[in-house]
Amino acid sequence: MAQPIRITDLAAPILTPMQAGAVAHGNSAPASMTVDQVLDAARAATGLSDFGADDFRARLGLWLQSIAEDKGLTGFGRGALFADCVRLASNRLKVEDLLKRHPEILDIKIDRPIIIAGLPRSGTTHLVNIISADSRLRHMPLWESQEPVPSAADIAAVKRGETDPRFVRARDGWGQFEAILPHMPAMHEMAPDHTHEEIELQSIDFGSYTLEWLSRPHRWREHYYATDQTPRYAYSKKVLQILTWYKGPNRWILKSPQHMEQLGPLKSVFPDATLVITHRDPLAVIQSAVTMLAYGDRIRRNPTDPHATARYWIDRVEHLLRACVRDRGIWGEHQSMDVLFHKYMSDEDSVLREVYRLADLEMTPAAEAELKAYLAANPRGKHGRVQYDLAGDFGVDIKQLRERFQFYFDEFPVEHEL
């Protein structure tokens, strides 16, 4: 059994030579980033020019302004976010170009998707990857989420019998990231073939809370809170239709923690979905999430300031949970269920069977074999287990924090873990 991993330098990182090299290389990133710079780079990368509806430009501008106002970002952090913006704008160009050539894509039905919501670090990733092993369902692996529309060169390579270049790029990119931050897979593996969150598709419309995982974008967060996200969910559905057009089936397994605070827009866009919400002690969730973020901050931020990271995400998790408690009734019991983390961990098979029953999806012998094969190949803790210390590493008063989340414990009887 692998030794437990204890990261002791979150506040004052001792950089490895590879980490120091990444930070030094990132210092060449542009000091300022504009909407025109992003869009010009996307046009140059794709040879396309039509971005579709122009309303996204204002949201992109807010992203860039929020990044500029986050003074703690290193050049590496800014440069990585700029590259993400260019990738997303490039994806948008390819989405709009494909839909102009094949408008029939928008007639494709997304049939009764199974959607998993729940706090980050509450078992959503594990659950979605298990169910994704069922070949009767369509899922979106990381490599496909990063580039949902292949270029002509990508298509030609696949026709020649080569591995999809999008997979290769995702594998190489995340492989390099994990080489720089070797403890990251123990906290949240990003294998290119594992199922990723569909809010990545909302980001092509410059929506979602994705930016918050890579910076502290206060301006963007306030805009996001104040704005109806239904159009962003509709945009993601449009990209799901594209992915279904490339390869079925048209019944999807999806997941994102963000859905907890967007239960209304989610229901509006996917009215026939089956919703599964996982629930876990929010203190354990926060402890795990902020440790992962603080570890990655050694190349993104200077200073890293773990206490500020904890403050930001305590607020963020509270918003997710208050919205969930407020809006949970939007989804009736005939198409939704709540899963307590400790019960899922102790009886995984029963939870899976209940999900299948609710979704009216037969647990056939073939499906059961596929799920068991995934579990056998992906045991929990295969990359090691990280030891966490929310009080010691982040200065959090555990008793006060537990009182702050009493409203959630009153609603969902999760087991206390801290």
Q: What are the structural domain ranges in the chain?
A: 5-411
The predicted structure's pLDDT at residue 342: 94
Residues 62-95: tens digit of each pLDDT: 999 999 999 999 999 999 999 999 999 999 999 9
pTM greater than 0.85 (yes/no): yes
The predicted structure's pLDDT at residue 2: 61
Residues 272-288: tens digit of each pLDDT: 999 999 999 999 999 99
Q: What does pLDDT average to over the chain?
A: 95
Q: Over 60: is that where the pLDDT of 103 sits?
A: yes
Confidence of residue 325 (pLDDT cuts 50, 70, 90): very high
Among 173-187, 320-334, 394-408, the least confident range: 173-187
Query: Rounded CA gap, 79 and 62, in Å?
Result: 17
Six-digit token pair at 229? Answer: 């996200």
Average pLDDT over residues 134-151: 97
The predicted structure's pLDDT at residue 318: 98
Beta strands in 58-155 (DSSP E): 114-118
Question: Among residues of the chain, what percentage have pLDDT more than 90?
Answer: 90
Query: Rounded CA gap, 249 and 218, in Å?
Result: 39
Six-digit token pair at 24? Answer: 């030094």
Contacts 24+ apart (CB under 8 A), 217-224: 217/63, 217/66, 217/67, 217/69, 217/70, 218/66, 218/69, 219/62, 219/65, 219/66, 219/69, 220/62, 220/63, 220/66, 221/66, 221/316, 223/59, 223/62
Q: What is the CATH number of domain 5-411?
A: 3.40.50.300
Confidence of residue 123 (pLDDT cuts 50, 70, 90): confident
